[in-house]
Amino acid sequence: MDDKKVLLVVEDDLGLQKQFKWSFPAYQVVIAGDRESAIDALRRYTPSVVTLDLGLPPDPANASEGLATLKEILELAPKTKVIVVTGNDDRENAIKAVAMGAYDFYQKPADIDVLNLIVSRAFQLNSLEQENIKLQQQTSEPLSGIIAVSEKMQKLSRMIEKIAPSSITTLLLGESGTGKEVLAHAIHELSPRAGKPFVAVNCAAIPETLLESELFGYEKGAFTGAAKQTIGKIEYAQGGTFFLDEIGDLPFSLQAKLLRFIQERVIERLGGRGEIPVDVRIICATHKNIQDLIDAGSFREDLYYRVSEMVVNIPALRERDGDAIVIAKAFLNRYSEQEKRDIKGFTAEAKHAIEAYSWPGNIRQLENKIKRAVVMTDDVYISLEDLAMQTPTDLGLSSLPLNLKQVREHAETVAIKRALAHADNNISNAAKLLGITRPTLYTLFSKYGIEGH
């Protein structure tokens, strides 16, 4: 296979075709003599640079066919650098072509050295643009540990990146299983406290009678069984991040003491007399509606204002278009390796079921399903039976915008992201699933701001 960059030469003159064929030894030169063959070559070879004679059949004396070809090329592959070649007396159409989006123009008779220079510069510019796109994609990847392609999670990732370097107390809100602790870890790892302790306490997992000593520690003899001084979890987080999960389940009797710690950044161990200063970043999380708890009198309003200097709302998995199948594949890879199983992927029905299901238990539920399926399957592809799921009857596209244009854009965006997920981000395969060409798919990437992989 030729590894040279592809140069598409659109020229109907047989003599010039031969001249161009041998005048660009640095490139793989593909020749097309008319509009139809030019578009076919564009789709097949996806060249970065095209030289286009505006005088094409059926009427070489009229530039309309050449301009129409230029328009179609730029619609199919907008990042292609098109150099139009015109007759000596056709400067007006050359300028029109540049206004339409052509990279440059050159007038016949062709000086191959000059044309070689223009072509070389076009390839260099294309390479720089492609490199810039890659760099932008690298810097816009979701946070470490966050697997996401949906717009909502991309925006949330950008928000986390802004929050992380600060010391602002953050409250993560989201349903159970949405990954609140993963996000808390991400904030910690992106902060100046990375490398220092990250200590997590789940208020719902520790009995109320033990929670105070777990958080604040205790001195020897503070209560029956306190045989030695014990440092609490808050103190263990010194210099790092303290993550208080399910703060909505924090007993009311402890809320005043936690409020004082957040305000003053000092603690007192049970049975102790002295104040101990603690330097920690505080992140809290809950799946409960704090305002309902305040109205019910079970959560202090002043504590809520202290822990919610910054509030991050984490969307449920069912609200994250395209993320379910991507996350499922990541879990499949993890547990296939862990269980030493050679599993290649999901059946088509299984993929549709994963996408269509509402996942009330969110990512945690999805993870459990995949882990079970990896253990239970007898095949190299996970099936509906392995997942213990039913055939989907609704792909869940109910919450569409009202405006018809928005409906179309939303539907196309979702379809593209799903195709990419199904095709493991292979552009050619995704285009086949969508029934379009690769250049058309790239055009849609640009139109909807979707990151190609």
Domain 6-138 class in CATH: alpha beta
User: Is pLDDT above 60 for 397?
Assistant: no
The residue ranking higher by pLDDT, 142 or 392, is: 392
Helix (H, G, I), strand (E, B) or coil at 351: helix
CA 45 to chain CA mean position, Å: 28
User: Is pLDDT above 80 for 229?
Assistant: yes
Q: Is the pTM for the entire model greater than 0.75?
A: no
CA 151 to chain CA mean position, Å: 7
Tell me which amino acid residue 287 is.
H
Distance CA 107, CA 429 (A): 40
User: Is pLDDT above 60 for 255?
Assistant: yes
Summary mean pLDDT of the chain:
87
Q: Which of 129-138, 208-217, 400-409, 439-448 has the largest mean confidence?
A: 208-217
- Encoding tokens for residue 12? 């109907």
pLDDT band at 347 (very low <50, low <70, confident <90, very high): confident
Q: What is the pLDDT of residues 136-193, one digit of tens each?
A: 544 444 466 688 878 889 889 989 999 999 999 999 999 999 999 999 999 999 999 9
Any idea where the domains of the chain sit in the sequence?
6-138, 151-315, 319-395, 397-453
Q: Please choose, from the candidates 25, 182, 24, 183, the residue with its C-alpha nearest in 3D space to the C-alpha of residue 112.
A: 24
Helix (H, G, I), strand (E, B) or coil at 369: helix
Distance CA 29, CA 7 (A): 5
Determine the pLDDT at residue 399.
37
CA angle 80, 86, 88 (to 5 degrees): 150
- Per DSSP bridges, beta strands 198-202 and 241-245 are parallel
Question: Residue 55 carries which DSSP code?
Answer: -
427-435: long-range contacts, CB 8 A cutoff, minimum separation 24? 427/452, 427/453
Determine the pLDDT at residue 406.
63
Q: Which residues contact 73 (CB under 8 A, 6 or more apart)?
A: 38, 39, 42, 50, 52, 80, 82
- Encoding tokens for residue 366? 């999805």
Q: What is the CATH number of domain 397-453?
A: 1.10.10.60
Q: To which H or E segment does residue 242 belong?
A: strand 241-245
Q: What is the pLDDT of residues 283-319, one digit of tens each?
A: 999 999 999 999 999 999 999 999 999 999 999 999 9
Q: What is the pLDDT of residues 412-425, one digit of tens each?
A: 888 888 888 888 88
Asked if the domains 6-138 and 151-315 are classified in one and the same CATH topology, the answer is yes
CA angle 405, 411, 417 (to 5 degrees): 135
Tell me which amino acid residue 289 is.
N
Q: Choose the CATH number for 151-315 among 3.30.1360.120, 3.30.70.120, 1.10.8.60, 3.40.50.300.
A: 3.40.50.300
Looking at 274-361, list the stretches that DSSP marks H as alpha helix, in order from N- to C-terminal side.
290-295, 301-307, 323-338, 348-356
Q: What is the CATH number of domain 319-395?
A: 1.10.8.60
CA 339 to chain CA mean position, Å: 28
Determine the pLDDT at residue 134.
60
